[in-house]
Amino acid sequence: MSQVSINNKKARFEYEILEKFTAGMVLLGTEIKSIRKGKASIKEAYCALENGELWIRNMNISIYEEAGPNNHDPIRLRKLLLNETELKKIEKKMRDVGLTIVPLKVFLSGGWAKLEIAIAKGKKYRDKRDDIRNKDIQRQMSREQK
């Protein structure tokens, strides 16, 4: 069986990653089957704290065709599972202005679907330009080495 890894490439470009966490997800049976097929997207997803619990919104898990009429809602609210200490740490950090919780990657670990999330700060336009410039320099250097 191939290793499933669904990445949010845009997040690393749009945000400066400050701290990472790995969270479990509360999923339905048809949702985990779709994730195992690689049919999920976290491009538009974001995380929110509500009543001391962490939730992911706008995560799209495609409908599992073999399920028939007993299928799930592709963009439903899903609960994330973290330790109480991690939740309190995130809650404390979120009091700072300008920080957000961004999903980075969905992967399978021991048959369980996990979500890598990060506390991040939005980059300014000039920071994004600097990143692009640095990537171009690295690409040029690797070409010259070959």
Say which CATH number the domain at 13 has. Answer: 2.40.280.10
Asked whether the predicted pLDDT for residue 127 surpasses 90, the reply is no
For the entire predicted model, the pTM comes to 0.80
In tens, the pLDDT along 45-73 reads 999 999 989 999 999 998 888 877 778 88
**Mean pLDDT over each residue of the chain, to the nearest integer:** 88
Q: What is the mean pLDDT of residues 116-139?
A: 87
116 in Cβ contact with 105 (< 8 Å): yes
SS3 assignment, position 45:
coil
Q: How sure is the predictor about 85, in pLDDT bands with cuts at 50, 70 and 90?
A: very high
Per-residue pLDDT, 67 = 76
Other C-beta atoms closer than 10 Å to the C-beta of 15 total 19
The Cα 88–Cα 92 span in angstroms is 6
Burial 38-53 (b: 16+ CB within 10 A, else e): ebbbbeebbbeeeeee
Supply the range of the domain harboring residue 125: 5-145
52 φ, ψ to 5°?
A: 75, 10
Task: Tally the domains of the chain.
Answer: 1
